[in-house]
Amino acid sequence: MNQGKTQQAAAAAAGMSVRSARKWQSGPLPSQTKEPRHWRTRKDPFEGVWEEKIVPLLERDKEGELEAKTLLKQLIEEKPERFNQGQLRTMQRRVRDWRALHGPDKEVYFQQEHPPGEEAALDFTNCNELQVTIAGEPFRHLLFELVLVASAWTWACVALSESYEALVEGLQRALWALGGVPRKLTLDNMSAATHELKKARGRSLNKRFADACTHLGIETVRRINVGKSHENGAVEVRHRRTKKLLKQALILRGSRDFASVEDYERFVQQTLEREHNQHVTAKLELESPLLRPLPIKPVPTYTTETPKVRRWSTIKVRGRIYSVPSQLIGHQVEVRLHANEVELRYGGEVVETFPRLRGEGAHRIDYRHVIASLVRKPGAFPNCFREELYPSLIFRRAYDALERARPGRGHVDYVRILHLAAMTMESTVEAELAQLLEAGAPFDYATVKQRVQPTESEVPQLEVGEPDLGVYDELLGGAA
């Protein structure tokens, strides 16, 4: 009786039934003492073909790429009466087990220790898959990302290309947001930071980027091997996770359209801060004191070139053509290439800024730069950068309508209308053209000018009466 109570108490304490407790007290279960089975309980479905046909194929497959599905398919084609798709799982297990014992060596990844404050990694990633639009227009762009390897703190900004200017601007903005500088920087062999060594047939850090890193206080810049993106795994993994976070945030936002690039970049940084960085705050607090201090000021993030303005009122910069004011023809100008814009200077003064072009052979012609000459030589219009001389689709439609009304002469009226837009307000001319196109009636330059030309405002005639000085005498007399 006492023994039964003891078993019940022991069972209750161990959280098991009395029956299980008795089995437990009586020793190990039979299944725990049996030797592993080394015999088959059913016939081998691949008997007679495994060693003779399958193993030789696996041995020739030095990369381990041959799939069990392919092997089974070949067997089915040879002996359809014996083999079928229901044997696929068995084939997969056999191939898996054979490769575990006899297959080719696999890539070994070595776990790394990353001391806090020691290393940051950076890279660009293409984000066209996010399908973001700016003011309704598709926005093709990259994201620059920098990751602190130890804490995984991440900073990102929008970039339009993998240029030197975008690289240095992104790096410095990230470090200033972080408030410190890591000792080591890891990146791939991007052309913005490296150049090809003709004799050694490799790539080396270019002097300009190396000098920028030295100024910032970065001791070591490590470049990963070509084609080995996993060596920069900290930022590669972050790219995937960042884009996943942004996709989810865009779905919740209900729209992928933004008013400006600045609004979109703010959305990216707020999403990263909310969905990622706030979860690594404790790690960042440990890492921040170990970072090096920032330099007194950042390095310039632009590149300077000094092209000469050609007689076509254009300059050529990095293989791309930009128009400039015609007054500068024949003069040498200073061009500052920033990450996303071009700054035109002459005599130390900023003349104009415009978006930086992307793509080989791209050109940007502002009709205001050339219209004064073009209106005197309208015959040049069909053979110049004609597509660049349509400020909007309305202007293009207007040109087509003018050509239909006066074949071979419509460009004369169009050039004059364009000159009118430059001298007055482009938006006003565009609105009038839209109304004329909607009406469907023929029109010409005179029609548009009559509707657009502002009338001179009349100066109102004011009559000022002669003042009554007696009022002042009364005021003074009353004071006395």
- Which tokens hold the place of 166? 């975008």
Residue 159: Cβ-neighbour burial (10 angstroms; 0-12, 13-18, 19+)? buried
Q: Where are the beta strands (DSSP E) in 306-374?
A: 314-317, 320-323, 334-337, 341-346, 349-355, 363-364
Kindly give the residue spans of alpha helices, DSSP state H, lying in 183-326. 207-216, 233-253, 261-275, 281-287
Residue range 99-144, pLDDT digits in tens = 999 988 887 766 666 678 889 999 999 999 999 999 999 999 999 9
State the pLDDT at residue 109.
Answer: 65
> Can you give the pTM of this predicted structure?
0.66
Residue range 340-367, pLDDT digits in tens = 899 999 998 999 998 898 877 788 888 8
Map tokens 């381990």 to a residue.
Answer: 64
Residue range 396-443, pLDDT digits in tens = 999 899 988 888 888 898 989 999 998 888 999 999 999 998 888 888
State the pLDDT at residue 282.
Answer: 93
State the pLDDT at residue 107.
Answer: 78
In the predicted model, residues of the chain with pLDDT beneath 50 are 1, 10-11, 13-14, 18, 21, 23-24
CA distances from 422 to 367, 402, 429 (A): 8, 19, 9
State the pLDDT at residue 1.
Answer: 47
